[in-house]
């Protein structure tokens, strides 16, 4: 089956470097690249040596800013195909015909560390997919946790500043934990649900091939008739979900910091193509308020007992990129890259993301023309009146304005044949306020649900993780405040964590709900707060 993205990439490949002699950027053949041009054997190097100057200048300019978050990643190409037509709930063209394969590029990442950090750290993993659809690019920019740490994007800079190392020395405070992160957590209990996931084995995946992915936010599907349905996206790996244990994760950091990216690369090279099933949780518009949480709150899941996940298609990754920088580093995902049939909700975290990604990419990728970089270029035709800017590589023809009676410029689409993007006609009205619905304040019900769904050994790992991370926080007040929040999630959890990190145990009533299995003696855990 033809892969339109692969065909497009062919056109951008550099000439075969082994096919002829070295040249300059101007195509002039170079006879010598080992000695600069000088006056005599011991004289100064001459400015006129244009090859020498070009070689050094180009080297000096090789680096670009790394992503402000998710800097370390690995990517691969592949395809997506739906199982059957989804016309009943979305008009998105790539979800209509099981015979149509849509090319994709996926980038997996860690969040906190810089580009050169280790793979197997305790962290969230990014799971971002670019679908090169016939109607334009659609990006599903997800994570391997179904919930996020904050509810409103205005807090994102605060959250990320707390997560990143200290500004004065670029080292996290405490022995290896982040005092600043735990300070933020203890003062912002909306982080707790994601923190429970972070302390669980989900935060140290065995392989990118064995990771779930989640769109996190509630999005909207829209049919050809304009009917909306709320939707949550889920990727499920065919190989199942597998994690490392903490000891293994730490050892990998030393022995093979590229453990996860190597695994992905090697599997694809060996023809062991990783595969995921895309599933959706669908909620009719009329059921918007049928839950005891708000669908617009990204710290909450929709329990699968309430809304089952419906499988709608599968994705296979079958080709490694040919150049890490050109493709994996320069790929630019954006939550606002949507296609007809997929729309947003008023989730305040999603709304912030819809601003942030393009904004950051304008600086990271050096101006507005990064959509012309091969990995970002749609396979759908692009016709805009946007012009110029740094790194313009398209030779536009004609005039570039609308309306236009002189034979140029792109006409606006009347949308009569249904192919243009039309925004969902949501009715909104209300006063301008800085407040969300009351259920945004419930920070404990779903973390408790998560804890209660764990097997005993999973609970044990979570307690160990809290002891390891929180136990290194210098400020006892931060430890104690975090334990107080944990007591509202589960008394037994809080007690066990408190015992391991030298802070007072929560009160008897708070701690009444002990760990489920009496046979599980956490006192026997190795390390008691340090592994």
Pick out residues in 409-448 that bind ligand HEM (CB under 6 A): none
Is 353 one of the annotated binding-site residues? yes
Backbone phi and psi for residue 437, each to the nearest 5 degrees, phi listed first = -65, 160
Stretch that binds ligand HEM, among 137-145, 165-173, 429-437, 459-467 (CB under 6 A): 137-145
Residue 57 phi, psi (nearest 5)? -60, -45
User: How far, CA to CA in Å, does 362 sit from each of 28, 45, 166, 336, 383?
Assistant: 33, 38, 26, 15, 20
* Alpha-carbon distances, residue 381 vs 8, 11, 84, 92, 224 (angstroms): 12, 15, 26, 17, 22
Q: Which of 32, 51, 61, 70 is catalytic?
A: 70
The whole-angstrom separation of Cα 492 and Cα 505 is 10
Considering the complex, what minimum distance in angstroms separates the CB of residue 417 from ligand HEM?
33
Nearer to ligand HEM, 185 or 515 (CB): 185
354 is catalytic: no
Cβ burial, residue 327 (10 Å; 0-12/13-18/19+):
buried
Q: What is the DSSP string of 178-212?
A: -HHHHHHHHH-GGGHHHHHHHHSGGGSBS-GGG--
Closest-CA residue to 111 (of 16, 227, 205): 205
Segment interacting with ligand HEM (CB under 6 A) among 92-100, 268-276, 347-355, 380-388:
347-355
Interaction pattern, residues 182-221, with ligand HEM; x per rule: CB under 6 A: ----------------------------------x-----
Minimum CB distance to ligand HEM smaller for 128 or for 204: 128
Strand partners, 137: 132
142 binds ligand HEM (CB under 6 A): yes
Measured distance CA(453)–CA(169) in Å, rounded? 40
When the beta carbons of 142 and 491 are compared against ligand HEM, the nearer one is 142
Q: Say whether residue 141 binds ligand HEM (CB under 6 A).
A: yes
Q: Measure the N-to-C terminal CA separation of the chain; round to a whole number of Å.
A: 51
Q: Which part of the chain contacts ligand HEM (CB under 6 A), choosing from 286-294, 325-333, 408-416, 428-436? A: 325-333
Query: For residues 101 and 217, which CB has a smaller minimum distance to ligand HEM in the complex?
Result: 217
Asked if 332 interacts with ligand HEM (CB under 6 A), we say yes
- Write down the least CB distance from residue 361 to ligand HEM, Å: 5
Query: Can you count the helices (H) and strands (E) in the chain?
Result: 12, 10
Closest to ligand HEM by CB, 378 vs 492, is 378
Closest CA to 143 of 95, 104, 109: 109
Size of the site for ligand HEM (CB under 6 A): 28
- By CB under 6 A, the residues from 147 to 166 that bind ligand HEM are 148, 153, 156
DSSP structure class, residue 148:
-
Nearer to ligand HEM, 73 or 491 (CB): 73
Q: Which of 137, 143, 337, 490 is catalytic?
A: 143
143 is catalytic: yes
Stretch 111-130: interaction string toward ligand HEM, x if CB under 6 A? ---------------x-x--
Tokens of 434: 């800085």
By CB under 6 A, name the one of 46, 56, 68, 420 that touches ligand HEM.
68
Q: Which of the residues 298 through 317 are near ligand HEM (CB under 6 A)?
A: 298
Q: Is 8 in the site for ligand HEM (CB under 6 A)?
A: no
User: What's the CA gap between 337 and 332, in Å, rounded?
Assistant: 10
- Closest by alpha carbon to 294, among 428, 147, 125, 88? 147
Token pair, residue 61, equals: 């300019």
Which residues have C-beta within 8 Å of that of residue 43, sequence separation ≥ 6? none
Binding site, by residue number, is: 67, 107, 156, 353, 357, 364
Binding-site residues from annotation for heme: 67, 107, 156, 353, 357, 364
Active-site annotation, residues: 70, 143
| Residue numbers at the binding site for ligand HEM (CB under 6 A) | 67-70, 73, 107, 109, 126, 128, 141-143, 148, 153, 156, 216, 298, 331-333, 349, 352-353, 356-357, 360-361, 364
């Amino acid at each position: 089956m033809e892969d339109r993205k692969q065909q497009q990439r062919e056109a951008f490949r550099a000439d075969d470097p082994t096919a002829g002699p070295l040249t300059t950027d101007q195509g002039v053949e170079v006879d010598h690249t080992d000695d600069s041009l000088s006056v005599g054997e011991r004289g100064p190097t001459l400015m006129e040596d244009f090859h020498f100057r070009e070689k050094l200048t180009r080297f000096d300019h090789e680096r670009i800013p790394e992503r402000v978050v998710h800097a370390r990643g690995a990517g691969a190409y592949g395809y997506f195909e739906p199982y059957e037509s989804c016309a009943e709930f979305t008009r998105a063209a790539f979800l209509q015909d099981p015979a149509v394969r849509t090319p994709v590029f996926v980038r997996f990442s860690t969040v906190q560390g810089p580009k050169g950090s280790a793979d197997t750290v305790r962290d969230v993993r990014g799971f971002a997919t670019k679908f090169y659809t016939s109607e334009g690019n659609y990006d599903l920019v997800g994570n391997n946790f179904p919930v996020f740490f904050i509810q409103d994007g205005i807090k994102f800079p605060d959250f990320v500043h707390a997560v990143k190392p200290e500004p004065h020395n670029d080292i996290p405070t405490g022995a290896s934990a982040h005092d600043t992160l735990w300070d933020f957590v203890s003062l912002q209990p909306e982080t707790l649900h994601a923190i429970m996931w972070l302390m669980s084995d989900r935060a140290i995946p065995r392989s990118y091939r064995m990771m779930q992915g989640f769109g996190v936010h509630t999005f909207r599907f829209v049919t050809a008739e304009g009917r909306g349905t709320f939707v949550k996206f889920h990727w499920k790996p065919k190989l199942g979900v597998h994690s490392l244990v903490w000891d293994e994760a730490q050892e990998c950091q030393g022995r093979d910091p590229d453990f996860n990216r190597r695994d992905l690369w090697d599997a694809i090279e060996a023809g062991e193509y990783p595969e995921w099933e895309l599933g959706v949780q669908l909620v009719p518009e009329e059921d918007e308020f049928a839950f005891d949480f708000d669908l617009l709150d990204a710290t909450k899941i929709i329990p699968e007992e309430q809304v089952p996940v419906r499988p709608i298609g599968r994705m296979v990754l079958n080709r490694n990129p040919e150049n890490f920088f050109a493709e994996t580093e320069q790929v630019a995902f954006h939550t606002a890259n949507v296609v007809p049939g997929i729309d947003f909700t008023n989730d305040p975290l999603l709304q912030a993301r819809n601003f942030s990604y393009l904004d950051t990419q304008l600086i990271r990728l050096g101006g507005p023309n990064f959509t012309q970089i091969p990995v970002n270029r749609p396979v759908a035709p692009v016709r805009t009146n946007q012009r110029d800017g740094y790194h313009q590589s398209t030779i536009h023809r004609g005039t570039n304005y609308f309306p236009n009676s002189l034979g140029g410029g792109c006409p606006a689409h009347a949308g009569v044949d249904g192919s243009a993007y039309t925004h969902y006609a949501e009715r909104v009205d209300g006063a301008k306020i800085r407040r969300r619905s009351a259920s945004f304040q419930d920070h404990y019900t779903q973390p408790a649900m998560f804890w209660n769904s764990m097997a005993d050994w999973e609970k044990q790992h979570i307690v160990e993780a809290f002891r390891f991370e929180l136990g290194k926080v210098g400020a006892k007040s931060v430890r104690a405040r975090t334990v107080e929040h944990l007591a509202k999630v589960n008394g037994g959890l809080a007690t066990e964590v408190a015992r391991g990190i030298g802070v007072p145990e929560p009160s008897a009533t708070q701690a009444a709900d002990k760990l489920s299995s009496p046979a599980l003696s956490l006192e026997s855990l190795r390390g008691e707060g340090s592994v």
